[in-house]
Structure formats: structure tokens, C-alpha cells
Chains A and B, each alone.
Chain A
């Protein structure tokens, strides 16, 4: 947290063969003590980036530094980082204790010290009592903990996690998310976390790098990424989002395809630029007619065309005719007014809730 750079990538490119560019000219600084996530769809290069930090893959071009030290072609066993693999890669021929102690044995740490450190780490990840079990006899969640312990016990400067929760079911995944976050706060090690699950990334990370086709799409804090996506890709990948085509009418307002002009964040886009207006469903409000809508906000007429019940919330699809359609999400609270398919409604939203992004 003191702002020292734990992992630095400078113009890192990775090609497989001649044509496949997995990672394309990436610059990135990950700070010490940070919980940093690499987020993106499969094939976006996030795992390759992680593997280049681990030394399991070498960049075609560029520099990877760990605490200022150039890694070059240094093999993984000479790097001060450890990895939690997606498949866990637990050694099936060793029990839990031997799996966790493997790294220390390879570093020729003294036997008594290995025993204490392995014991401590087993307690830390709450595996006490399972010391002599083989990985095959453990549940998915327990295997995940062994994989974590096996990496943590070496006290790496950076811990790399490659979709570590991907194989677990939803409930267990949510528990483990919190637990991972706690462990990270406890040990204070920099975590670099690869995931394709945007919700997971938002929940756990201090900062997120969204990747798309080998390039960094946006780097920032969770709220930053969610509230101010810098591109349509980030806007559509992170969270729920509705899109309406239009063009900039003047600074601060957008003309939709159907002619309505709405107030929105337009940044420095010039009038006449064709844009996509992005709207978060939970930031929109529905009213019976325009008079009910609070003043100073946008108000557009539309028709409810679909209603979906989620339990804690309801989602309405609202059609604006020529301007397109979008979703509105309403919390299921006692004062909530319910609408039916076919109802005429007025959609209202704050200027800050609508962002115009160029193609």
C-alpha cells in the first residue's frame, strides 16, 4: 500500500507462432499489497499475462519486473512468486502435508522449520486434521485450500491465482471469495487474480484490469470500472447494461434514434458524433406519467414489453419505439409500484446515470 510496484509490465507482447497475438503491448503496474484482478472473456490474454509473470511462459517482447528486478528469461523456480493453478495441480502421489511442504523442501529449508510453517499454513487455510490425506480423498473446496496453502507457505512476494474458484459451485465460491480476501488482508501479499467472472472481480479487487483481445481495455478501481467504463467493451462486459444508439446533440445531451434528446455524460465528444448511450438498469426509474417524475431529470415515454421476476428485484423491458429498448431494474420493496406488459410508462434517470460512448 506504500505504492511500491510489485509487478511491472512494460510493452509486453506474446505471440504464439506467427499470427496468434495472445498479449498485445501491455503496460501495467501492480502495487505492493494490492488485490489486483485481470478480468476478461476467455482468450483475452489474461492467463497468458499471468503465466508470463510466473515464468511459465516468456514474452515475445517486453519486460516483466518483480519488485524492480528484471525477470527476463528467468525460469519459474527462480522467481519470487507462486501460483495457484486453475486445475489445482496437486501432486496425487503426496499427502496434504507433503504437497504443502514441497516448495520449502525444494528450497532446502530446514526440516523443523518446514514442519512449523506447514502446520501454520494448514491452520491458516483451515485444513487442520487433514495432514495425511491424499488429494484424491479431498473435496473440491479442500483441494482448493491445499493449492492455496502450497503456494502461500513459501511466503512469495506475489501470489498468482489463475481462476482458482472456477471449479467450485456457487455457494462455496462465494464463501471462498470472502475467505481469500481475508487471507490476503492477513498476509499482506500482493495477489494477482485472473478471472472471467466480473462479479467476482468487483467483489474482491482493489483494482481491476479489463482485457480484450490481448490489450488492456481499462485499468482502475472496482467502482471506477463499474461507474465510468471507458469503452463499450468494458461497459458491456462489466455488470448489466442497456444500450441506445444516438448522436451527440450538444455537449451534455444526446439525441436518440427516435428524436428524443436526453441529458447525459458526454465527456469531450463533439456534437454530431454517433454514440451509444449506456444505461445501468438499476439507475432508471419508472413512473405513470411525466408529472410524477422529479424535475431536473430526463423523462422518456415508453411501453413495458416484458416483465421478469428475480425475487429480490424485478426487471422490466421498456420499448421506446424507434429509439430502441432497455431494461429497468426495480428493487422488490413494499412501496414498489408494479407494472404489467403493455403499460405506458415514463422512464426517468439522472444525467449521471447515462454515459455516451463513441463506437
Chain B
């Protein structure tokens, strides 16, 4: 690509149109979120009306025990499902990328990719039927089990992409320089795939904090997550309190994106 600037491929008239389209899309992507954030600070009782700056909806949110309980559940599920799926997913990625021939490798490859292309609703139905059939009580644990089940695959895909870009000679060099298998993994492989592992972990965290459909199927009494709780609120009535919760969730997402970008940046420099 060097020597050829990419813009040479675009004529000025086309470029003007693309730029216009670009900013229009950005407006489309950002205005709705912006409106929600702004109105979370509105004192008015009614959602779409500006009633002067106020923090009352945030105060109300912090006083809502059900909501706080749901938030706690969400964090618990997100954290544990991220940890477990990151370990399992990374090991699975290594099994597929670093070891060529083993029995049923092809089958495992297929099984590992299915959860990614399966629709949420189908996954939700599957797990509900299975849990009721096997006798897993619906609650926090069943939610965790479900989240790990869909997260493993996403972690594995991200880590595998990273492994694919890694020169296998790195590990060979490690072994050639007297490192045992474990030392090769610890000192060479792991540091090199770390951006992928962390990226996969952050994706798992986000997906876990995002999920509504699957969780709403496998939740139990008293054990729901924040998105499912909020979903219930929205279905009943739209209140400004939802704006406050939404703002909180968007802020959390932004922190996650920026963290993930920082990690990727570091990974590229090395």
C-alpha cells in the first residue's frame, strides 16, 4: 500500500458524497444515545420533556433494591463467565491452532463455531429445555452456565485469530533455547497472544452484560440480571429512571471499548 495513497481511488465528487453519508451515519449512530444521556439528567417526570438539570433519577436508581440486586447478579455472572470462558476458549484455540491431527478435531471445530451463528432465541430454548429436563434449578447458576456456553466460542475465535498471526518459529525458538513446554507457553506463547486473550475476555464480558434473550429464559425467581430487569421495566412503562440506568450501561461499555483498544494498541506495538 505504500506509495499509493488510498484516496487516489476516490474521485472528488464521490468523496464528497461519501463524506456526507459518513457524517449522516455517525449522526444516526450517536444522536439516540446522546438523547438518552441528556434526558437522564432531566428533572421532568415525563421522559421526552426537559425539566431542568437534576440528579433525581440517579438517586432513585441507587435506592432501587431490585435494580441493585440485578446489577450485582449481572456483575457476578459476567465476571465468572468471562474467567471460565477465557480459560476454556484459549485452551480450545490452542488445541485447534497448534495441534494438527487429533481424533474428532473436525467435529470439535464445528461444535465450537455453532454457538456463534445460532440465533439467541434458539439457544435460549435449547438451554431452558435442557435445564428443566436435567433438573438444573433456574437461578444465578443456570444463567452463568448459559453465558459460559455462548462465550467460549467467541473467546476461541478471537484468540485463534491472534494465534494465526503468530510465527510458529517463536515457540520452536523457545524450545530450542532450552525452555520446557510449560516455560515455552508461559514465556513465549502467552505473552504473545495476550492481546487476543484479553480482547476475547472483554468481548465475553460485553456479551454477558448485553444478553437479554437467553438470560430471560434461564433466569430464576429473584435472580435476574440488569439488562433483563431493565427490559422488564421498558415493557411496562418508559420512565426517566431507565435513562439513568442506560447512561450507566453506556458509560460502562465506553470504558470497556477504550480498555480493549488500549490493549490492542499495545499488542500491535510489540
Instruction: Please tell me whether chains A and B touch each other in their complex, using a CB distance cut-off of 8 A.
Output: yes
Which A residues fall within an 8 A CB radius of B? Answer: 54-56, 75-77, 81-83, 85-87, 89-93, 102-103, 106-107, 134, 136, 150-151, 154
Interface residues on chain B, number (Cβ under 8 Å): 19
Interface status of B257 (Cβ within 8 A of chain A): no
User: How far is it, in angstroms, between the C-alpha of A82 and the C-alpha of B178 when the chains are bound?
Assistant: 9
Contacts of A55 in B (CB 8 A): 175-176
Scoring B residues 172 to 213 as 1 if CB is less than 8 Å from chain A, else 0, what string do you get? 111111111001000110011000000000000000000000
- Once A75-B175, A106-B177 are accepted as A-B contacts, the answer to whether A89 and B270 lie under 8 Å apart by CB is no
Q: Is B65 an interface residue (CB 8 A)?
A: no
Q: How far apart are A49's CB and chain B's nearest CB, in angstroms? A: 16
In angstroms, how far is the closest chain A Cβ from the Cβ of B27? 39
* Contact of B180 (CB < 8 Å), options: A77, A90, A134: A77
Are A103 and B177 in contact (CB-based, < 8 A)? yes
Taking the nearest CB of chain A, how far is it from the CB of B187, in angstroms? 8
The contact of A54 among B176, B192, B269, by CB within 8 Å, is: B176
Contact pick for B178, options A87, A93, A107, CB 8 Å: A107
Encoded as 1 (CB less than 8 Å from any A CB) or 0, chain B from 145 to 182 comes to: 00000000000000000000001011011111111100
Alpha-carbon gap, A75 to B179, bound state (A): 10
Cα of A90 to Cα of B192 in the assembled complex, Å:
12
Q: Given contacts A83-B172, A83-B173, could you give 14 more A-B pairs where the C-beta distance is less than 8 Å? A: A55-B175, A76-B172, A76-B175, A77-B178, A83-B176, A87-B169, A91-B174, A93-B270, A106-B180, A134-B270, A136-B269, A136-B270, A150-B177, A154-B177
A-B contact pairs, 12 of them (CB 8 A): A55-B176, A75-B175, A76-B175, A77-B177, A77-B179, A82-B176, A85-B169, A91-B192, A92-B192, A102-B174, A106-B183, A154-B177
Taken together as a complex, chains A and B put the C-alpha atoms of A103 and B192 apart, in Å, by: 18
User: When chains A and B are docked, how far (Å) is the Cα of A90 from the Cα of B177?
Assistant: 12
Q: Given the complex, which residues of A lie within 8 Å of B169, measured CB to CB?
A: 85-87, 89
Interface residues, chain B, with chain A CB atoms under 8 Å away? 167, 169-170, 172-180, 183, 187-188, 191-192, 269-270
- Candidates B170, B178, B179, B191; contact of A89 at CB < 8 Å: B170
Residues of A within 8 Å of B175, CB to CB, are: 55-56, 75-77
Instruction: Specify which chain B residues have a CB less than 8 angstroms from the CB of A54 in the assembled complex.
Output: 176
Q: Considering the chains assembled together, what is the distance between the CA atoms of A77 and B188 in angstroms?
A: 14
With both beta carbons as reference points, the residue of chain A lying nearest to B270 in the complex is identified as A92
* Cα A198 to Cα B174 with chains together (Å): 30
In the complex, what's the smallest C-beta–C-beta distance from A266 to chain B, in angstroms? 47
Once the chains bind, are A106 and B192 in contact (CB under 8 Å)?
no
Known contacts being A76-B172, A102-B177, is A89 close to B183, with CB within 8 Å? no
Kindly state the separation between the CA atoms of A150 and B180 in the bound complex, as whole angstroms: 17
Chain B nearest CB, measured from A138 CB (Å)? 14
Residues on B with C-beta less than 8 A from A154 are 177-178
- Which residues from chain B contact A102 at a C-beta distance below 8 Å? 174, 177, 179, 187
With A87-B169, A93-B270 already in contact, the answer to whether A56 and B176 are too (CB < 8 A) is yes
Q: Which of chain A's residues has its CB closest to B101's CB?
A: A17
B174 contact set on A, CB distance < 8 A: 91, 102
Tell me the smallest distance from the CB of A77 to a CB of chain B, in Å.
5
Given the complex, which residues of A lie within 8 Å of B270, measured CB to CB? Answer: 92-93, 134, 136
Task: A96 to B57: give the CA distance in the assembly, Å.
Answer: 56
Question: Which residues from chain A contact B188 at a C-beta distance below 8 Å?
Answer: 91
Beta-carbon nearest neighbor of A85 in chain B: B169
Q: Nearest A residue to B192 by beta-carbon distance?
A: A93
Chain A residues near B183 (CB-CB < 8 A) = 106
Residue in B174, B176, B188 with the greatest tally of chain A CB atoms within 10 Å: B176
User: Contact at A87–B176, with CB atoms within 8 Å?
Assistant: no
Question: What chain A residues lie within 8 Å of B179 (beta carbons)?
Answer: 77, 102, 106
Q: Are B178 and A103 in contact (CB under 8 A)?
A: yes
A75: which B residues are within 8 A, CB to CB? Answer: 175
| Cα separation A284 to B242 with both chains bound (whole Å) | 94
- Central interface residue in A55, A82, A106, A136, by most chain B CB within 10 Å: A106
Chain B residues within 8 Å of A82, by CB: 176-177
In angstroms, Cα B176 to Cα A92, docked, is: 17
B residues in contact with A81, CB < 8 Å = 176
Which of A91, A93, A134 is in CB contact (< 8 Å) with B173? A91
B-chain residues with CB within 8 Å of residue A106 when the two chains form the complex: 177-180, 183
Question: Can you name the residue of chain B whose Cβ is closest to the Cβ of A135?
Answer: B270
Report Cα–Cα, A85/B174, bound state, in Å. 11
Q: A103-B178, A134-B270 in contact; A89/B192 too (CB < 8 A)? A: no
A93: B residues at CB distance < 8 A:
191-192, 270
Least CB separation from A17: chain B residue: B101
Q: State the 5 A-B residue pairs at the shortest beta-carbon distance, nearest first.
A: A103-B177, A89-B169, A89-B173, A106-B178, A76-B175
* B192 and A87 contact, CB distance less than 8 A: no
User: What chain B residues lie within 8 Å of A85 (beta carbons)?
Assistant: 169, 172-173
